[in-house]
Amino acid sequence: MRRLVTLSALAAAAVSLGAQKVAPVNTGRADRVFVNGRVWTGEPGKALAEALAVRGSTLLEVGTTSAIRRLAGKGTDVVDLRGRFVAPGFIDAHLHLVGGGLSLEELRLDDASDFAAVAARIGAWARAHPEERWVTGEGWSYAAFPGGLPSRVQLDALVPDRPAFLSSYDGHTGWANSAALRLAEVRRATKDPPGGEIVRDAAGEPTGVLKENAQQLVERLLPKKLPHEIERALRRAIAQAAAWGLTGVQQAGISEEELESLARALEATPQLRVYAALRMERDPTPDVLASQDELRRRFATPRLRVGAVKGFLDGVVEARSAAMFEPYSGGGTGLEHFTREELDRSVAAYDKAGWQVMLHAIGDRAVEMALTAFERAARANGTSGRRHRVEHLEVPRTADLPRFKALGVIASTQAMFPYPNANHLDVYVPALGPERARRALAFKAVDDAGAVQAFGSDWPVFTAEVVRGIATAVTRTTFEGTPAGGWEPLQRLSAEAALRHFTRDAAYAEHAEQERGLLKEGRVADFVVLSQDLLALPPERIKDTKVLLTVLGGQDSFRAPGF
Ligand SMILES: [Zn+2]
């Protein structure tokens, strides 16, 4: 980015434009000014501005270029944005930094859309890593396999010499080869564990597919990542997040050990703010609550803050494990991980102790249970304003949508979940059937019901590249433009609504809207400069937008080469 070097150059420009009769006095109060931009502030009624002034880590003023220039002085860094688009720093309301960081270095099967592609990637990775005792990886989609599920026989042919275990893109289904099943002692006679299923063939033999909790039969044997490997993955994840324009993220579930690694990683790579959710325990004892509270008190800085707990109420649609009122096409109504009584008790205990509770709830029955648990907790404890959250919220009953606003519950949805690839159209939609598919991932209906909708990615389930999330929410097509007009096009959002969900609404979802999510005097100077104006572009071109600069607390956390 070109900088204006001298004040005389500025004055000359002002004179030549005839902008001012009386030369303005420059106060020099700003450390940095960013001028000549197209600034989307996110503020209702005052959404557009041209320039920003930063002092220390906060915004001194947002306004016109001429007004902001008056805040510059001799030592002020002046950045000419040359018409570029500026937005509040992006905030991802639901992701997994450890998994995301590891995904940047592991065997990934994303975008391998048929079995030939899956096989080629596994074979190449296994050949390139003969030293690894296991072949592990993730990201396969159900649609890549005839019938929607893989088999151990296929994997035996690709990895005959050692155990292999590969997770589906949503993390709810595992694929083991015969060596891995042998080590895990999964046989014909092995019983399904609670909350899980060992898929079997017509003869009763395990096929290699392990659903939900059954994955742990193999996962517990995997070589554990060492703390320094976790920390390295986290540093990579943080730098990548900054390059995607993120200034804040909300970590959906973290262990104490990972939290320590995250604190160290953020010290080494101070490029992101993280709001973290601990794991929600079933019927937490006073001891559990005390130790979680201790972590909440220890991690309470602007860079790393613990404020929520996250629990899983059900599974996913593709594996037919999300809890539904009515059976899936093909049968079954899914698995609940809590009884209603257990859930009500656990949520009430956390609500009483001042926690925000995040519940993964995808099926309509799970969403109803979550809302009811939040409602009962507030009533029993006499609490309000906890901003409890339903995570994913994929297939709610239409009648439950107004309850979000009424109860002050956050709708935490993921902008790329309606991405209509083969997996979505050939596995997800048919499992639901047409009536439920119409109310699935219905972002517009959630907005119209008056809920605060916070967007996230669920990285590494989908990329956390925010412009791709916005593109998907606006078009509801793939990046190749299919299906024409978008999947369930009535649920498309405007670019401005999608931006709001990734900024102000996501800040609200972590109780941070007084500091962040808007560009306004006195707020933290977290913002992003993009190559194109998201609000003026044809929707199909949003996906090509590049992040040029990410500013966190007034400092650059990412700068694109050449900017
Ligand atoms: Zn998640």
Q: What is the pLDDT of residues 7-63, one digit of tens each?
A: 344 444 444 444 444 555 677 899 999 999 999 999 988 889 999 999 999 999 999
432 contacts 322 by C-beta, under 8 angstroms: no
**8 burial level (CB within 10 Å; 0-12, 13-18, 19+):** exposed
Distance (Å) from CA 437 to ligand 1 centroid: 21
Q: Which amino acid is at 299?
A: F
Closest-CA residue to 270 (of 251, 297, 242, 300):
242
- The span from the CA of 503 to the CA of 246, in Å, is 10
Side chain identity at residue 127, one-letter code: R
For residue 51, CA distances in Å to 28, 312, 453 come to 16, 44, 28
Q: Is residue 439 helix, strand or coil?
A: coil
Determine the Cα–Cα distance for residues 225 and 102; give it in Å rounded to an integer: 10
Q: How confident is the model at residue 310 (pLDDT cuts 50, 70, 90)?
A: very high
Asked whether 140 and 165 are in contact (CB, 8 A), the reply is no
Mean pLDDT of 317-332: 95
pTM of the full predicted structure?
Answer: 0.85
Centre of ligand 1 to C-alpha 417, Å, is 12
451 pLDDT tier (thresholds 50, 70, 90) = very high
Q: How far is the CA of 93 from the centre of ligand 1 (A)?
A: 10
> Across residues 426-434, what is the average pLDDT?
95
- Tell me, in angstroms, the distance from the centre of ligand 1 to residue 389's CA: 13
Q: State in Å: Cα 552 to ligand 1 middle.
A: 25
What rounded mean pLDDT belongs to the chain?
93
Torsion angle of the four alpha carbons 376, 380, 381, 386, in this order, in degrees rounded to the nearest 10: 10
One-letter amino acid identity for 363? Answer: G
**Both structure tokens of 472:** 């998907």
Q: What is the pLDDT of residue 106?
A: 83
Q: How far is the CA of 68 from the centre of ligand 1 (A)?
A: 41
Closest CA to 7 of 19, 556, 57, 27: 27
Q: Could you tell me the distance, in angstroms and rounded to a whole number, from the CA of residue 252 to the centre of ligand 1?
A: 6
Condensed to tens digits (0 to 9), the pLDDT of residues 121-139 reads 999 999 998 888 899 999 9
Q: Which of 94, 93, 90 is nearest to 40 (CA)?
A: 90
Distance 261 CA to ligand 1 centre (A): 19
Instruction: Using the mean position of ligand 1's atoms as its centre, give its distance from the Cα of residue 456 in Å.
Output: 9
In the reported structure, the alpha carbon of residue 96 is separated from the centroid of ligand 1 by a whole-number distance in angstroms of: 6
- Helix (H) or strand (E) holding 305, with range, is strand 304-312
Closest residue by Cα to residue 247 from 414, 125, 369, 87? 87
Cα-to-centroid distance, 482 and ligand 1 (Å): 26
Determine the distance separating the centroid of ligand 1 and the alpha carbon of 384, expressed in angstroms.
26
CA–CA dist 178, 186 (Å, integer): 9
Calculate how far, in angstroms, residue 390's C-alpha sits from the geometric centre of ligand 1.
11
Looking at residue 376, its pLDDT comes to 98
The confidence score (pLDDT) of residue 204 equals 95
Instruction: With beta carbons less than 8 A apart as the criterion, state whether 100 and 464 touch.
Output: yes
Cα–ligand 1 centroid distance for 17 (angstroms): 53
Model pLDDT, residue 536:
95
Q: How far, in Å, is the centroid of ligand 1 from the Cα of 292?
A: 20
Q: Summarize pLDDT for 497-539 with one digit per residue, the tens.
A: 999 999 999 999 999 999 999 999 999 999 999 999 999 999 9
CA 33, CA 43: separation in Å to the nearest integer? 20
3-state secondary structure of 31: coil
Q: Tell how far the Cα of 46 is from the centroid of ligand 1, in angstroms.
A: 34
- Looking at residue 105, its pLDDT comes to 77
Terminal C-alpha separation, the chain: 5
DSSP reduced 3-state for 117? helix
Instruction: Burial-class residue 224 by CB neighbours within 10 Å (0-12, 13-18, 19+).
Output: exposed
The full length of the chain comes to 563
CA of 391 to the centre of ligand 1 (A): 8
* 476 Cα to the center of ligand 1, angstroms: 21
C-alpha 95 to ligand 1 mean position (Å): 6
Q: Is 264 exposed, middle or buried (0-12, 13-18, 19+ CB in 10 A)?
A: middle
pLDDT of residue 10: 40
CA distances from 265 to 98, 179, 268 (A): 11, 36, 5
Question: How far apart are the CA of 339 and the centre of ligand 1, in A?
Answer: 21
pLDDT of 111 higher than 80: yes
Q: What is the pLDDT, as a whole number, of residue 45? A: 86
Predicted pLDDT of residue 302:
87
Q: What does the block give as tokens for 414?
A: 């993921």
How many other CB atoms are there within 10 angstroms of residue 354's CB atom? 12
pLDDT of residue 25: 67
Ligand 1 center from residue 94 Cα (angstroms): 6
Residue type present at position 170: D
How many whole angstroms from 124 Cα to the centroid of ligand 1? 29
Over residues 283-302, the mean pLDDT reads 97
Q: Over 90: is that where the pLDDT of 163 sits?
A: yes
Compute, in angstroms, the gap from residue 324 CA to the centroid of ligand 1: 19
Q: What is the mean pLDDT of residues 257-286?
A: 97
Quick: pLDDT tens for 463-500.
Answer: 999 999 999 999 999 999 999 999 999 999 999 999 99
Q: Band of the pLDDT at 436, cuts 50, 70, 90?
A: very high
d(CA 529, CA 37): 9
- Measured distance CA(241)–CA(380) in Å, rounded: 40
Residue 321 and residue 354 in contact, taking contact as beta carbons nearer than 8 Å: no
Rounded to the nearest angstrom, the gap between the alpha carbon of residue 475 and the centroid of all alpha carbons in its chain is 19
What pLDDT, on a 0 to 100 scale, did the predictor assign at position 23? 52
Q: How far apart are CA 468 and CA 42, in angstroms?
A: 19
- Determine the distance separating the centroid of ligand 1 and the alpha carbon of 460, expressed in angstroms: 9
Quick check: 356 and 308 in contact, CB under 8 A?
yes
* Neighbouring residues of the ion ligand 1, judged by CB less than 5 Å: 252, 458
Q: How far is the CA of 555 from the centre of ligand 1 (A)?
A: 29
